[in-house]
Structure 1
Amino acid sequence: MKVIGLTGGIASGKSTVSELLRGYGFAVVDADVASRTAVAAGSDGLQEVIAVFGGEAVIDGEMNRPYIGQLVFNDPEKRAALNSIIHPRVREIMALEKRAALQNGRYVVMDIPLLYENKLEATVDEVWVVYVPEHLQLERLMKRNDMTQEAAAARIASQLAIEEKKARADVVIDNSGDLQTLEQHVKKAVEQFFERNEKK
């Protein structure tokens, strides 16, 4: 059974596409969910975060994401320290989920926002990129997260450019229109995927 790597830029609509693919029967393994599990309340991962970042790293028993986010966003050393705690755990959680789904005979979607940035494309059979032009990405991110243009642009710049992701994708799902148009694009991509794989 094939494994799809689903990625895109921030505010490109990847989560929406992920949900639509679930509706077609794909098993979705979500990196964001796995990263929350890796540092869930009471976990070894969270204890390690406290050891490295101090007591302020936790609020109400959970990781204080806004605080940690501010700490690591402009500090490569702190970001590397956080990644060294989270990434190995995330990989393990996702690998177990993927193996279980494949053993059940299901096609798998690995929903990984930083798939290219973390050089994970070799771990999947094909890469699908949810694409929106950067000006639209900026507009949607500002609206969704109530951000200034400067802050939103900085977040976008911290990822690989969306045009680069589009150029490297096996399948591009354009999300520059409305939801109905996106649903049509996803339907077409799924139909073509089954045509490619069911015949073999």
Structure 2
Amino acid sequence: MKIIGLTGGIGSGKTTVAQLFSELGVPIYIADIEAKKLTDTSKVIRRKLISLLGEEAYKGPKLNRKFVADKIFNDKTLLEGVNAVIHPKVAAHFIKWVSKQKATYVIKEAAILFENGGYKNCDLVILVTAPKAVRIARVRARDNASSIEIEQRMKNQWSDEEKQKLADIIIENIDLKTTREKVETIHNSLSKLPSL
């Protein structure tokens, strides 16, 4: 079974692309969703994050996402520390998930697949891109965030130019119809790949 990485900057539309693959019957693992579940349920993650960020890191059983986001987004060292706690757990969870799938290939969708080195464990990586102005408009509409907040989040991710050097396939996601056609073409190619 092939592991296909799917990534892209904030607002690029990687979740939309993942949904299009899902509609074609491809198993999709969305790392961000699984990470959120694990931060709320893993006692090990909870203990380590409280040790790193303090008791306020959790509100009852759930991660205090706003508090954590405020702490890490302007502090690279803390951000790296939080990632070092969460990413290995998500990676182990993903391996377990893959072992239960019965498809020619699966997709692992992760926002920071290149930044955290996860791309090295993929057979191919698809990068979703869109012009910066389009990405900002999408995130403003989705998250009700200011342009300044969005730009700050973008600074914590590699630029599309950096990612393109490592990507195997690039989907420029501006028009849904064109993107859907591209996904179908990629799916047809990937479905013919010999399994490992």
**1:189 alignment partner AA:** I
Measure the CA separation in 2 of the matches of 1:94 and 1:53.
26
1:183 CA displacement: 1.6
Cα deviation, residue 31, structure 1: 1.0
CA shift in 2, pair 1:105/1:151, >3 Å: closer
Which residue does the alignment assign to 2:191?
194
TM-score normalized with structure 1 length: 0.88
The answer for the alignment partner of 1:108 in structure 2 is 106
**CA displacement 1:90-136 (0-9 Å, x = unmatched):** 111111112222xx344111111111111222211111111112222
CA offset at residue 76 of structure 1? 2.0
* Distance in 2 separating the partners of 1:154 and 1:54: 24
Extract unaligned runs of 5+ from structure 2.
none
CA-based RMSD of the aligned residues comes to: 2.1
Deviations 1:23-78 (A, max 9, x none): 21211122112211321246331233223322221124200111101101111222
Does the CA-based 8 Å contact 2:2-2:195 persist in structure 1? Answer: no
8 Å CA contact 1:27, 1:106 repeated in 2: no
- TM-score, normalised with respect to structure 2: 0.89
Which runs of no fewer than 5 residues in structure 1 stay unpaired?
Answer: none
Instruction: Please give the secondary structure, in 1, of the residue aligned with 2:40.
Output: coil
1:131/1:166 contact within 8 Å kept:
no
Deviation track 1:156-187 (CA, whole Å, cap 9, x = no partner) reads 1221112332343211112112x333222211
Q: Which residue of 1 aligns with 2:136?
A: 138
In the alignment, which residue of structure 1 is the partner of 2:99?
Answer: 99
Amino acid at match of 1:24: L
Distance 1:160 1:146, change over 3 A: same
Task: Give CA-to-partner distance per residue, 1:132-166, whole Å, 9 cap, x none.
Answer: 12222122222322222222112112211123323
In structure 2, the residue matched to 1:166 is 164
Cα drift, residue 84 of structure 1: 2.3
The equivalent residue for 1:7 is 7
Q: Which residue pairs with 2:51 in the alignment? A: 51
- Paired positions, count: 196
Aligned match of 1:117: 115
Structure number with greater CO (CA < 8 Å, separation at least 6) is: 2
Change (3 A) 1:176 1:166: farther
**Partner of 2:5: helix, strand, or coil?**
strand
Tell me the equivalent position of 2:29: 29
Any conservation in 1 of the 2:6–2:126 contact (CA below 8 Å)? Answer: yes
**Which 10-residue stretch deviates more, 181-190 or 57-66?**
181-190
Identity of aligned residues (%): 28
For the 8 Å contact 2:128–2:171, the answer to whether it is kept is: yes
Write the distance in 2 (CA, Å) between the matches of 1:147 and 1:157: 15
